[in-house]
């Protein structure tokens, strides 16, 4: 009752929209990590004016949507103060100053990303972020996740969407972020326009300028295959864009659940956003079939923590989007109006080599989260190997040289420029 009243009061005033001046909670850490049970408790979303709204899930749906997840102890790097993190971001963007931050190593309970059943449950949570409880395609969860709430599902909410799953003891909250809804990527609906805008801003070399026939999504292309880097970075921090909305959403969740650990999960665009927020707040992330977010992280001037091992990407080699291969004028993505030109991921990646082992062909249709759930995580990858080992992409180097021969205000891109 109290939680529902608090949620209603917060939504009435649009929730807090700036990071708290200091950390408001200490994460709950069990002496011995135990499996956690989660249920869908809330839906989350964003209105046209960028106000974040929450909607409580009816008990009959919440009870039918439970997930059991195994856990492990881990340490994550977090900035001592969020205010310092965001100040460093602003100074990096506006003054070109690389500020050194103080980081703390916090011990927390995190999902065991080496456990196939855990990844399967988290993948189901990401799938359900595209749906409302009871829709066709909804995956019911095990009894370990006590409550869940969707966000962004009101009739006039057309952007950032997802669900919030809460463990039975309220020690852990999983924020599941919806990815791109589009015909070519699976689905559709009212969020398509804003999904595409964020995809093309975050993952293209310059405002989705693929060739002369494209209408760019920002005004940073200067002709002659040049792009204004300052303009490009500014275009990523508008209040209506998903990274900014995600930081506000995270802060609001910590107000609702001040003593809980927060985990982030997502698919595709949602997974990349989860990775960016994982760097920002120092929380565990599991992302499925996400495009590389390292380029966006640098353009957002996110201060680099000592380690990003708390971010785990799971994808397979036939997915052209996760592999960074869905680019060029004749690619499936370009035909649908998406310029997916980034490749490198933050953290560690558990990569299923489906093209070699299963003889899959490179195909955008394998990008769907349902493929991961039904064909990869439904059984162990190999005998004695439940999931591929997660490793950092240390050798991932990509170039925007094919798209932009030089950038204004920065040195020309070469084949050695990591993105």
- Residues annotated as catalytic (active site), given as ranges: 268
SS3 (DSSP) at 176 = strand
Q: What angle do CA 91, 96, 102 make, to 5 degrees?
A: 50
For residues 112 and 419, what is the distance between their CA atoms, to the nearest angstrom?
28
Closest Cα to residue 126, out of 154, 151, 159, 163?
163
For residues 20 and 193, what is the distance between their CA atoms, to the nearest angstrom?
31
Residues with Cβ within 8 Å of 94's Cβ and at least 6 positions away in sequence, in order, are: none
Strands 226-228 and 221-223 turn out to be antiparallel
SS3 (DSSP) at 59 = helix
Burial of 181 (0-12, 13-18, 19+ CB in 10 A): buried
For residues 303 and 88, what is the distance between their CA atoms, to the nearest angstrom?
7
For residues 338 and 200, what is the distance between their CA atoms, to the nearest angstrom?
6
For residues 158 and 193, what is the distance between their CA atoms, to the nearest angstrom?
8
Tell me the two tokens of residue 156.
Answer: 């006039």
For residues 294 and 272, what is the distance between their CA atoms, to the nearest angstrom?
9
């Amino acid at each position: 009752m109290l939680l529902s009243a608090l949620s209603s009061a917060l939504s009435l005033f649009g929730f807090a929209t700036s990071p708290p001046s200091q950390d408001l909670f200490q994460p709950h850490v069990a002496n011995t990590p135990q499996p956690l049970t989660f249920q869908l408790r809330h839906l989350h979303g964003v209105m046209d004016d960028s106000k974040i709204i929450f909607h409580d899930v009816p008990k009959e749906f919440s009870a039918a949507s439970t997930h059991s997840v195994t856990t492990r102890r881990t340490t994550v790097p977090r900035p001592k103060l969020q205010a310092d993190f965001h100040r460093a971001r602003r100074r990096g963007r506006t003054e070109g100053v690389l500020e050194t931050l103080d980081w703390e190593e916090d011990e927390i309970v995190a999902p065991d990303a080496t456990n196939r059943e855990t990844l399967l449950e988290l993948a189901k949570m990401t799938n359900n972020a595209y749906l409302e409880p009871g829709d066709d395609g909804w995956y019911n969860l095990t009894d370990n996740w006590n409550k869940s709430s969707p966000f962004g599902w009101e009739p006039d909410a057309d952007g950032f969407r997802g669900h919030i799953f809460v463990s039975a003891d309220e020690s852990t909250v999983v924020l599941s972020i919806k990815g791109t809804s589009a015909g070519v990527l699976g689905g559709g609906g009212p969020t398509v326009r804003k999904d595409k805008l964020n995809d093309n801003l975050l993952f293209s070399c310059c405002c989705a300028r693929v060739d002369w026939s494209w209408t760019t999504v920002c005004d940073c292309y200067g002709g002659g295959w040049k792009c204004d880097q300052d303009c490009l970075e500014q275009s990523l921090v508008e209040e209506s864009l998903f990274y900014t909305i995600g930081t506000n959403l995270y802060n609001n969740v910590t107000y609702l659940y001040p003593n809980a650990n927060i985990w982030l999960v997502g698919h595709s665009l949602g997974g990349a956003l989860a990775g960016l927020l994982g760097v920002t707040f120092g929380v565990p992330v599991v992302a499925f079939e996400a495009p590389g977010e390292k380029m966006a992280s640098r353009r957002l001037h996110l201060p680099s923590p000592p380690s990003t091992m708390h971010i785990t990407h799971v994808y397979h080699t036939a997915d052209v989007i996760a592999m960074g291969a869905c680019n060029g004028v004749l690619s499936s993505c370009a035909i649908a109006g998406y310029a997916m030109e980034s490749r490198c991921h933050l953290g560690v990646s558990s990569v299923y080599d489906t093209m070699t082992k299963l003889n899959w062909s490179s195909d955008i249709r394998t990008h769907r989260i349902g493929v991961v759930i039904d064909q990869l995580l439904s059984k162990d990858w190999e005998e004695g190997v439940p999931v591929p080992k997660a490793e950092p992409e240390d050798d991932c180097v990509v170039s925007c040289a094919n798209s932009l021969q030089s950038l204004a205000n920065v040195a020309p891109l070469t084949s050695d420029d990591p993105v």
